[in-house]
Amino acid sequence: MHATCSPPDSPVATPALAGIAQLGFLLLFPGFFLYQTLIGMGVLGPFLGGYFAVVSIALAVPLGYGYFQAVRQARYRVAPTDIQFLFFLLYFLVVVLINAGFGADPVTVETHLLSILYFLNIYLVFKHVDFTQAKTMASALLSLLAMTALIFYLSEGGSFEPGRGAGATGAASLASYQGFARSYTLTFIPVICFTRSATLRLVLYCLALAALFLNGARSELVAVLLLLPVVELYRARSRLFGLCVIVLLTTASAVLLQDLAPYLPDSRIWELFDLARSESAHARHDLTEQALRTIVQYPVLGDYASYQPGGYSHNLLSAWVDLGAFGFAYLLLMLVVSSARLFVDGWRGRARSSHFMLAWLLLWSSLFLLLTAKTFDDMFAGAAMGAYANYQRQSWLARRHGRTA
């Protein structure tokens, strides 16, 4: 017998699952940042290796059990969004296992198996974490401020240098600047979405942009710069006031960058303004061309792990190479269709919540990063789909109680 009170789009989250999701969020993002920073400072040894894999494996059981209990309470109703995302993960897993059986590169196989685990954990975390709770929001905000302070403290010559105190063993396991940027950005976006004070948001914008600049994370910096106007236009009581804030931020950023350039000539950020001389841009262009040649040669199934470890295309074409045309199309459509549904809700005025904003910004950021800089197994996609599933549940609950989501 089906439960008449359970939402059609999602099983009701239990308090235990919400608590596990909050812990998972803090461990996977601020926790990763702190652990890696302490290794870099020489305070800790890499006793958890790279940290993310060990913590993800430890979180998988409580998150999975909590989700199973939530589904049981909903009389085994699984949300359509869950089925959609889990189908992608299952397809991904089948492709990896089949190719592993045929002797695919073991490094790539291991990386992708861990990516599937990361996807699953991050999806469940962002689906069930409750940022409307004061303690969750306070811990996220304090974590963001702590990460910002560490970036400022450990920067030299305009660049974040977290590994200056690490020994040879520590340096080998230290995350790249991209790992630090991922943790920072995936903490910053929820905090901004659930911060009602315009003054506090403005302060956090300035701190975050400065921190990402010092970190050298070009893709994340551009993504954050592009999403800030969306937040302010959405939150502004007056569209004119929102536009004034955007113009002010844009002008201030342009003037600041122009003034900083002579003092920080070695910053990686300046490559954004001169891609013709950027070694990274040239390397990514070459990898994209290699991916296109592979796709032309193997248009249906792709050619799994046909590149050297780390030699993947830094964009969504990597999905076509490894998962074939179906995997590429499915992932793209999943993100685009979810974004389109959010756009319709926002356009019709049905969406008036921070949950909507979080899902919209994460989906937009995920698409932007996949189209410009990241591989298909980038963690933003899992966070985006989890936040979208959370919005779907909150929207159902709001309609049930006669409110606007």
The DSSP result for 179-222, as a single string, is: HHHHHHHHHHHHHHHT---HHHHHHHHHHHHHHHHHHT-HHHHH
Q: How many domains does the chain have?
A: 1
Residue type, 134: A
pLDDT reported for residue 279: 67
Contact 342, 360 (CB under 8 A): yes
Contact 327, 309 (CB under 8 A): no
Helices 177-193 and 354-372 cross at an angle (nearest 10°) of 150
Specify the pTM: 0.90
- Identify the three-state secondary structure at position 160: strand
Contact 212, 185 (CB under 8 A): yes
What contacts 42, CB < 8 A, 6 or more positions away?
A: 165, 166, 167, 170
Q: Which residues of the chain have pLDDT under 50?
A: 1-10
Count of C-beta atoms within a 10 Å radius of residue 298: 16
What spatial distance separates the first Cα and last Cα of the chain, rounded to whole Å?
A: 29
pLDDT reported for residue 22: 95
Is 6 a member of any domain? no
Structure token digits, residue 146: 């702590």
Is 167 a member of any domain? yes
Burial class (CB in 10 A: 0-12, 13-18, 19+), 343: middle
Cα 216 off chain centre by? 17
How far apart (Å, rounded) are the C-alpha atoms in residues 156 and 35? 20
Cα 199 off chain centre by? 25
What contacts 283, CB < 8 A, 6 or more positions away?
A: none
Q: How far is CA 57 from CA 51, 64, 326, in A?
A: 10, 11, 29
pLDDT reported for residue 404: 54
What angle (nearest 5°) sits at the alpha carbon of residue 68, between those of residues 63 and 72?
Answer: 150
What contacts 135, CB < 8 A, 6 or more positions away?
A: 22
Is 405 a member of any domain? no
Cα 108 off chain centre by? 21
Is 34 a member of any domain? yes
SS (H, E, C) 216-228: CCHHHHHHHHHHH
Range of the domain at 371: 15-400
Q: How far is CA 198 from CA 2, 222, 331, 386, in A?
A: 44, 21, 35, 26
In the chain, helix, strand, coil percent, each to 5?
75, 0, 25
What contacts 252, CB < 8 A, 6 or more positions away?
A: none
Contact 158, 265 (CB under 8 A): no
- Looking at beta carbons, which pairs linking 201-206 to residues 24 or more positions away fall under 8 Å? 201/231, 201/232, 201/235, 202/245, 202/249, 204/144, 205/249
Is 4 a member of any domain? no
What contacts 171, CB < 8 A, 6 or more positions away?
A: 163
Is 9 a member of any domain? no
- Identify the three-state secondary structure at position 156: strand
Count of C-beta atoms within a 10 Å radius of residue 277: 10
Cα 207 off chain centre by? 19
Is 382 a member of any domain? yes
Is 2 a member of any domain? no
